[in-house]
Structure 1
């Protein structure tokens, strides 16, 4: 089982106990405002998404980690690697992404988990490049992207919803931990 421990977090595969807390995160309009069309997701949609995330681990050898706080055992959200099939113009590519519940914002958890995930991409999975796709205006995510040392690769539009996106990249052969 793939796990990564940081000073404050445990990045791990998904368990049945994660469904309800992740569904609560996905049901928050403030959390979801930057995701796809901004729609919240219910318990069933969250269960389907987690099932898909676990399938990607099996198919790709990487995926999205559940992010748990070491101090309390709470599920804070997720971070990890995925193939951004929704944006064919960037393929082949592996994207790093994250989604945390509102109580966990502004505490550096996204940056901490993302840094650990970049190291996983380089050291454990041998990837040489990772991208991050961010909706224009999502300043919190762009701050995390800057902390990761990623640079703007292109600006484009979401193929389904039309809103502007920025694609950032980092060459992991030059990545400095």
Structure 2
């Protein structure tokens, strides 16, 4: 476990989480503001787990973490840091299943994650890349005291770049 809140456990993804990874990367509603095509086969989620998530854990000591809901013991999304070479900075990213939206979970997990940055991972500056129109994610960034520093392009899409120094 990386950290926890009253309702959530944030922990590294495991092989057992591949079905949840598949779902969070295949539900079109969850990908509205994500610059990627939906996954169509669970084997793609296995590749994502092996070639991206585990690689980040090994290379940087951190990466996207599973967010497990204590009440129902389900993985309900992810939250965590990811180093983005394109920006030479660590990005805070988060995504949740729609049935958990508008419950404050996004901010709760993000704040718990940020609280680990400096002490556990020596991260003192981080960004959030938010596609134009993603009001909910911008709300989380603002509640985390992040400020918009620029507009940029990422993976062919216009994004607002939010940033915060700890």
Query: Normalising by the residue count of structure 2, what TM-score does the alignment of the two structures yield?
Result: 0.93
Question: Which residue does 1:53 correspond to in 2?
Answer: 53
* Paired residues, number: 164
Alpha-carbon displacement from aligned partner over 1:95-141 (angstroms, at most 9, x marks no partner): 10011111111111111111011111122112110111110111111
Higher relative contact order (CA 8 A, sep 6+): 2
- Separation of aligned partners in 2, 1:126 and 1:26: 29
Q: Secondary structure of the residue that 2:72 maps to in structure 1?
A: coil
- Separation of aligned partners in 2, 1:56 and 1:66: 14
Q: CA deviation at 1:153?
A: 1.1
Q: CA deviation at 1:17?
A: 2.3
- Separation of aligned partners in 1, 2:159 and 2:7: 31
Query: Normalising by the residue count of structure 1, what TM-score does the alignment of the two structures yield?
Result: 0.87
- Runs of 4+ in structure 1 deviating by more than 4 angstroms, as ranges, are none
- Separation of aligned partners in 2, 1:50 and 1:99: 16
Q: 2:16 aligned with 1:17, yes or no?
A: yes
Structure number with higher strand proportion: 2
Question: Which residue does 1:171 correspond to in 2?
Answer: 165
- Separation of aligned partners in 2, 1:109 and 1:145: 13
Q: Secondary structure of the residue that 1:83 maps to in structure 2?
A: strand
- Separation of aligned partners in 1, 2:31 and 2:3: 26
Q: Secondary structure of the residue that 2:62 maps to in structure 1?
A: coil
Alignment RMSD, CA only? 1.3
